[in-house]
Structures are given as structure tokens and as C-alpha cells.
Amino acid sequence: MRKPATIRDVAREAEVSVAVVSRVLNDGTVAPSTKAKVVATMERLGYQPRAAARELQQRATTTIGLVLTDLANPFFARLANRVVWEARARGSHVLLFTTQEDPHLEAESIEALVGRSAGSVIATPTGGNVGGWTRLIGLGINVVFVDREIDELPDADVVAISNDLSAETATQHLLDLGHRRIAFISGPLSTSTGRDRVTGFRKAMTRAGVDIDERLICAIPFRGDSGSDAVGALLALPAPPTGLIVGNTAQVRSAVHRLKQSPIAVPDDLSLIVFDDNPWTELVSPPLSVMRQPIDMLALHSVELAVGRMRGALTESPRHLRVNAEFVQRSSSAPPPSDTSR
Amino acid sequence: MRKPATIRDVAREAEVSVAVVSRVLNDGTVAPSTKAKVVATMERLGYQPRAAARELQQRATTTIGLVLTDLANPFFARLANRVVWEARARGSHVLLFTTQEDPHLEAESIEALVGRSAGSVIATPTGGNVGGWTRLIGLGINVVFVDREIDELPDADVVAISNDLSAETATQHLLDLGHRRIAFISGPLSTSTGRDRVTGFRKAMTRAGVDIDERLICAIPFRGDSGSDAVGALLALPAPPTGLIVGNTAQVRSAVHRLKQSPIAVPDDLSLIVFDDNPWTELVSPPLSVMRQPIDMLALHSVELAVGRMRGALTESPRHLRVNAEFVQRSSSAPPPSDTSR
DNA sequence: GTGCTGAGTGGTAACGGTTACAGTTTTGTA
DNA sequence: TACAAAACTGTAACCGTTACCACTCAGCAC
């Protein structure tokens, strides 16, 4: 457990000054022969620059803070996976936090990121920490909101799917199949995803001239098993829906589970479309029609913004990037039962 | 974007010395009135100690490095989720790396962790970096291997399930149902999980006095779609198995997908048990019998070892912790078809 | 020969915490 | 009231790196 070599050790051994070693590390102007000598010495001593010392000296770090709600949700897990990948490809590392949708935990994460002088932060905000995010941005830490956005924070970059359009597309698909009683389960209306998806749903319904039964719109929390309850309530209605769109990724499992337990047959009695494709949507019976979010693109753009701003390459005003979700039709959506009233 | 307050700013404003402020931060002995004054000043200035400065002075940080193979695998995603949770509860943060089973990426991650002077590292090693891990341990960074272990590295803590026992249990379950031709799909034999699970399988079979057909044991990579190929090969045998255990969590999806596409009926033609429970095993038809890994326990013990050693609370020799996986019977396992030769 | 340029190099003061040690005040006891 | 012990506070030296400035020394134009 010998103490690791420092830049001074390298300088002494290579018979140059520390300044030269530092320049070797940072692409400064160094004579090729000197550089080779220094590199060889670093190799020999197993020298690894201490990030802490560098960070102390410089303003910020190349660390990206990743603040997600919950890695148990496959959507966020795969997003994290890609973010780590893209960050690594650009020489950045990822400090991971989860909020479990709790603003207090989110606030804690924000404080920690300030203390560690993160260079950029990629986050799905809970919505409960406007002040915290403002502070972070004020300190010069770039913030990229992914998946969700917060209207009160116009200074953050945003990367998300076109939520309204994607909900509209899913709804239109059911309308085209002949459905009129369509239910929509969304996230809380306090989140942009919840609001925008409901907006898209309404837009498609209105355009088709179909009256919207407000009881068929369920804005439910991300946490807990509310998806099951919502499905239960919908099925218990005097006139249950013939089509259901679950636009709350965190509640898809719970909702599908409830449907499996009920006597309802999919798609014969009820057509189902869920938001976000994942490894198991194709394995259940019947395979589910889904709106697939381009996770790779979300991660790529988020990291590019985060790294770009850290490097100072991007100085313009905040960007709002939208990528389109893709509808994948499988077997869970079909025309409504013929005996249903139109 | 004013530059953030430093400890000296706080000291000046609160009319005390920097030493006092430092002691306030570190639970040193400070008069209550002084302490209150300092805390108030910190609050007022929005002071946040810079982790980099602290880390520079001290030997190591409280950061835990988490090196996993792939967050797209729900097992690792949920493990990461719990690790972040447990670490946060203990005041530690998590720096996340993924290796995608690539030793080069793993080596890169190890270097990065040295540079950032991580306090502890929790990892599922690929097996290709014995030297790298040895170096890390030599530098005084505690290493906890989770899920897998490496025999050549006796100085690392290990937290894993009893792989041999769990495979034995799963096999015994099929034997008890009357199966004799049982196939086993494991991970590569270069990993401890692969080896140990095959060992458990053999043990149960031998004890039951059943001859082992080596063609029914498939040790396949974690990456790619080899699970599908393995299932295809098993089904194409002159005498296909009546029972199948998939002991390679990363290939379960691919294997199940292949079975769904085949004319084989589960459990009528083939009983299926897969390793690791996850949100969708209950949703597919039929719901899958699984060996459930206690992810919470794996995460809890890993973090406790990591944090404990960082704090110097644990100084004894490396620990090898085993937790038991739990067999959950659902509908994918049943007695073999009666017309099958015994 | 002088002055100028520019590449290569060296010395050293930050950066913002912690901490050993010395100094000062408060408290306890005879 | 005196004096020792305990409790608290202040100073300054680190930790490892980079930024900044100063310096040397060719090469070149005048």
C-alpha cells in the first residue's frame, strides 16, 4: 500500500519540472523527445493524476451527474446504460443518483452535485425543486432535463420525445381501428409527460369528433401500484372502454398484471397500447403494441449537450430537442368487439 | 454566476477562524452558540464545501465505484438501484461504470477509479483484469465483488448467492416432478456463476442417479442472443429435454423468446425454470417458475462492506458472504409428458 | 552586433479544505 | 484568590495540480 506517485515524483524521475509534466498531461507544447521521456516515466511509476487536485484547481469537473427517478424502471435503466456509455466515449464519468420521485432526495442529490462540482447534470426532475435547479444553473453547472421538463426553468436544456404527438398517434391508431370508448392512463399532471400526453390524447379524440368521457382519463402517480387500481376502476365502469392506452411507463407492469388477472381478453374485449417498449412487451401474451421511445437518441443528445456545454463548445441559449417515438403494432390492439355501441 | 463561497468567507462573515468552521463541518468540539452562528452564516452564504478540496487532503474519498456489466439487464439495474439507495443512506455517492463484459472497458474503469481515489469499489468482474484489481487493492481501495468472484483475488470481499445450492434446488425441483432429461443453460465457465451453477446441477443429477447427457449442458456467453441458439439446439436434439433451467440471467429473455416462437408448449412439453425473478416473469404465459435472487440483500451487504471498510470499521480479512436464492414456483414447471421415456 | 520572435522549459502562487500545534479563555478546586 | 485543567479558537503548513510569468536559446532580419 505504498502511496501513489505524484506529478512531482514523475518530474524528479524524468528530470524535468512539474510544469512540463503537467503540459504533457494537458496537450501543452512540449518537445517530442521530452514528452516521450515523461510518458515513459509515468508508465514506469504507474502514475495516475489525482482528479481531486485537478478539480480543486479548475473551476468544474468533467463529471456528469445523472439524476433519475428509479432504476427499477427499465426505461430509466436503459437510459442510464446508454448515458454511461456515451459519457465514457467522451471521457466523462457518471455520478448516479436516484430520487424515487421524492423531492427531498432530489434536493439532496443537487446539493451533493454542487459539492462535487459536477460539470453537467442530466436529470428527470420530480418537479418539486425549482429553487434547487435554479441554484445549480446559477452556479454555472449545465443542466439537461431528459424525458421531462419544467416550464419554470427555461435555462435548462431539454431532451424528450414529442409526448403530445406520440399520445396522439397511439390514440389515432385505436380510433382508426374503430374504437370510440378509449381510456388513457397517464402520469401525474404535475409532470410535463403527464400533461402533454393527455393533451395529445384529447387532440386526437376531438379531431375525430369523439366525446371525451373524463372518467376514462386517469392521471396516476408513478410510484406504487396505482396502475392496477386504475385498470380496476376502468373495468368496473358501467360502460367500460374498448381501448386503453397506458402512457405511464412506471405503471405498465402493474396495469398489465391487473388485466391478466381479470376475465377481460386482450385484444378481443380490450385493445391495449402501452408507452415504452422493453424486453418483455414482446414476450407476454398477446405481445403488446407499444410506443417505443428512442432511448439511444435521448441518451446521445443528452450527453452531447452535457459534454458540449462543459467544454464550452456550446454557449448559445438552451436547446429543446424533440425526438419522435415510434409506434410498434403487435397483437394487443385490434378492432373493438362488434357488439359494442358506437 | 458569482464564484461560490469558501470556508474562509464563512469564517470572516461569522467572525470566527476557519478551523472553527471546519470543526463545525466535521463534528468537532465547538461551543453551541458559535456553532449556531456558523451554521447560520453557511446557510446565508449558500456555502457548500468543495469535495475536491477535502479529498485532496485526505487519503481517499467516500465515493463508491460501481462497476457492473450492463444496466440493460434488469438484475443489474435493480442491483444498481439498491446500491445507490443504500449508499445514499450512508452518506456515500456512487460513480457508475459499465463494462459490457469487455475487459478493456473494465480496465479503463479501474484506472478512472484510481484517479478519482474512490474509497471502495463494488464490482461484477469480467474475469479479464486480475492485474487491475490487484493494483486497486494494493492502493488501499477496498474491493467488493458482487454476484461473481475471482479465485485469483483472495483479498477482495465477495457477496453472492449460493450459486451451486440454488442450481441444485432448481434441478431437484424438476427431478421431484419426475423429469430425467434436464437441460441446463449457464453463463461462461470462466465465471464463478457459470461454474458453480453447473456444479450444483451435476450434483443434484448425480445424487438422483441420473446420467448426465453433456449435450444438455450449454455454457453460453452473457452477450448476444446465444440463449436463442442454445434453445434451438436443445430442441433439435433427437431426444429433446423435458426440463430446462436457464441459469444465465442475461440470456433468459432470448431463450424464452425462442421458446415462444417454437411449437413447444410450456409446461406441457417442456418445464422451464429461469434464474432471477423480475417484473415480467409473472406476466408471460405461463408465469415462470424462478430462482429469485435477493437483490436487496446483495446490495445491502455489498454497501455495508464497502462503507465499513472505508470508515476503517472493518479491518479483518476479506469476507465471503453467501445469501440464499429463493425458489418461486409458478406455472412453467410441471410433471413431464407421460409418453416420455424414463 | 542588436533586437525580435517563438518554442521549450522552470519556478511558484494559487485552488479550498483539514489538521497539528500553539495560544487563549473558561471552569473547577483547594 | 490562585492555579491547574479543560475547553475552545487561531495560525499556518500541507495535499497534487494547473495557470501564469519569467527565462533561455536558436534562428533570423536588419
B41: pLDDT strictly greater than 80: yes
pLDDT at residue A59 in the model: 75
Cβ–Cβ below 8 Å for A105 and B115? no
Residue nearest to nucleotide C14 (CA to C1'): A57
pLDDT at residue B314 in the model: 73
For residues A130-143, give the mean pLDDT: 93
The 10s digit of each residue's pLDDT in B205-229 is 999 999 999 999 999 999 999 999 9
Do the Cβ atoms of A105 and A76 come closer than 8 Å?
A: no
Q: In this structure, is the CB of residue B53 within 7 Å of any atom belonging to strand C?
A: yes
Average per-residue pLDDT for chain B: 94
Average per-residue pLDDT for chain A: 94
Please name the member of A55, A81, A284 whose beta carbon is closest to the beta carbon of B284. A284
Q: How far is B76 from chain A (nearest CA, A)?
A: 9
B341: pLDDT strictly greater than 50: no
Under 8 Å CB pairs connecting chains A and B tally to 154
For residues B337-342, give the mean pLDDT: 59
Rounded distance between C-alpha atoms, residue A51 and residue A102, angstroms? 31
Which residues of chain A neighbour B72 with C-beta distances below 8 Å? 77-78, 81, 279
Angle formed at CA A101 by CA A95 and CA A106, multiple of 5 degrees: 45
In chain D, which nucleotides are within 7 Å of a protein Cβ? 7-12, 14-21
Question: Which one of A98, A113, A262 would you mutate to disrupt binding with B, by most B Cβ within 10 Å of its Cβ?
Answer: A98
pLDDT at residue B144 in the model: 97
pTM of the model: 0.94
Q: In this structure, is the CB of residue A6 within 7 Å of any atom belonging to strand D?
A: yes
User: In chain A, which residues from 48 to 87 place their CB closer than 7 Å to nucleic acid strand C?
Assistant: 53, 56-57
B271: pLDDT strictly greater than 70: yes
A118: pLDDT strictly greater than 80: yes
Give B288's DSSP letter: P
Rounded distance between C-alpha atoms, residue A251 and residue A249, angstroms? 5
Q: In this structure, is the CB of residue B337 within 7 Å of any atom belonging to strand C?
A: no
Cβ–Cβ below 8 Å for B96 and A98? no
A164: pLDDT strictly greater than 70: yes
The 10s digit of each residue's pLDDT in A222-275 is 999 999 999 999 999 999 999 999 999 999 999 999 999 999 999 999 999 999
Rounded distance between C-alpha atoms, residue B174 and residue B242, angstroms? 9
Determine what percent of chain A is predicted with pLDDT higher than 90. Answer: 90
The 10s digit of each residue's pLDDT in B319-336 is 999 999 999 999 999 999
A108: pLDDT strictly greater than 70: yes
Q: Which of B12, B156, B146, B179 is CA-nearest to residue B69? A: B146
Burial class (CB in 10 A: 0-12, 13-18, 19+), A33: exposed
Rounded distance between C-alpha atoms, residue B110 and residue B70, angstroms? 16
Do the Cβ atoms of B320 and B327 come closer than 8 Å?
A: no
Least confident segment among A244-253, A303-312, B201-210, B248-257: A303-312
Q: Which of A290, A294, A310 is CA-nearest to residue A249? A: A290
For residues A18-30, give the mean pLDDT: 91
Q: In this structure, is the CB of residue A311 within 7 Å of any atom belonging to strand D?
A: no
Q: Find, in chain B, the residue whose alpha carbon is nearest to that of A5.
A: B139
Residue B153's DSSP bridge partners are none
Helix (H) or strand (E) holding B243: strand B243-246
Please name the member of A72, A77, A93 whose beta carbon is closest to the beta carbon of B72. A77
B159: pLDDT strictly greater than 60: yes
pLDDT at residue A342 in the model: 41
Rounded distance between C-alpha atoms, residue A51 and residue A209, angstroms? 61
How many Å is the maximal CA-CA distance in chain A? 90
Helix, strand, coil % in chain A, rounded to nearest 5: 45, 15, 40
Q: Find, in chain A, the residue whose alpha carbon is nearest to that of B47.
A: A115
Which residues of chain A neighbour B112 with C-beta distances below 8 Å? 93
Q: In this structure, is the CB of residue A24 within 7 Å of any atom belonging to strand C?
A: no
A1: pLDDT strictly greater than 60: no
Q: In this structure, is the CB of residue A40 within 7 Å of any atom belonging to strand C?
A: no
Do the Cβ atoms of A164 and A199 come closer than 8 Å?
A: yes
pLDDT at residue B1 in the model: 55
Question: Which one of A283, A285, A290 would you mutate to disrupt binding with B, by most B Cβ within 10 Å of its Cβ?
Answer: A283
pLDDT at residue B2 in the model: 62
Per-residue exposure over B178-213, b if at least 16 CB sit within 10 Å of its own CB, e if not: ebbbbbbbbbbeebbbbbbbbbbbbbbbeeeebeee
The 10s digit of each residue's pLDDT in A260-306 is 999 999 999 999 999 999 989 999 999 999 999 999 999 999 999 99
Question: Which one of B84, B246, B261, B276 would you mutate to disrupt binding with A, by most A Cβ within 10 Å of its Cβ?
Answer: B84
